[in-house]
Structure 1
Amino acid sequence: MKKLMLAVALCCLGLGVAQAEKADASKPTKIDYDDLQIDDVKQIKTLLGNVVLTRGTLLMKSPKAVVSTDPEGYNLVVLTSTPGTPATFRQKRDGAGDQWVEGEAERIEYSEKTDLVKLFSKAKIRRLEAGRLSDEVDGEFISYDSRKEQFAVKNSVTGESKPGAGRGTMVIQPVQRGPAATTAAAPAASVPPVPGK
């Protein structure tokens, strides 16, 4: 019964999911850091200290990142946290309106080849629409496949569901309908800057 409820919940989360910004795949990857170590033989780069990775609208942050390059030239990025500072990611989604997906975990793996993001240990993913929280899910393991528009949540960091290993939580925000939704969705009027300030 619990598995059925989780499957239904995940289907609900997947409704209306838009793909990640398609243009991101053609953008260069930029990484800022405090310290860098490169092993050209193994094709591994270790970045330390306030690591910030950007690729189009994709933004990833962590205290440490390891980037390995496969023989085809694709990168796998593994971001790790430190106590009190989780690894995070944020990416715009294609589709109407201002839609984003963001997440955090103790470890995040991002495959440039597949656009698959895997979050391990204390994982959370949130969908935002026009700056407001739309849906949120947490668990020990979450994979987010932006190409297939799919999330998978498991109760263990191995990426498998194990009996008695724990439970996840999902929160689906109510949909606003009627005149209040139109008013809430309208952008705030911009105020021109005051000269001299």
Structure 2
Amino acid sequence: MKLVFATHNQNKVKEVQDILPENISLLSLTDIGCTQEIPETGKTLEENAILKADYVTKNYGFPCFADDTGLLVTKLDGAPGVYSARYAGVKANADDNMGKLLQALIAKKDRSARFETVIALNINNEQHLFKGKVEGEIIHEKRGNKGFGYDPIFKPLGYTKTFAELPLEVKNKISHRGKAIQQLIKYLNSLVHDTRQ
């Protein structure tokens, strides 16, 4: 089964491909010739995921899933949230975003936060949503060189290492995206199973 993941982010593609069943071939937006950035104008993670999945299905005709992820920091009233990828500005990179967040938390004792991911899947003329979250905290300085985004400053609850220090296979089991992807995989496997009967 060929399935489009509505992203240009090759780190995300690799992370997801590593946990997909072998019978599912993952394509990125680049692979299908979609070079533009799909506007994320939704006010929630759910709305953005749906916008991206609908765009690909409508314009390219592929079964597709899209995700939107947010980092929600308790003492910042849930910020950066839906704006996580562009927290320090539209042209900001991960270092800029982390720098702004660390600055915003400099006087805060409570550094609790959570990551949330919403996946919208368009397949067989139906849409399905899958959600995952992980609780943790924002540490005081970057640690680790794996992962991407806010991974070097996010330490999941019950762990001493950040997402950027943990092996990918461990991160994939406990992360927000990993949990949502596991639900997606369970659903896709049920479709494959149904077609074999």
TM range (shorter): 0.3 to 0.5
- Which of the pair is proportionally richer in helix? 2
Higher Rg: 1
Structure number with higher relative contact order (C-alpha < 8 Å, ≥ 6 residues apart): 2
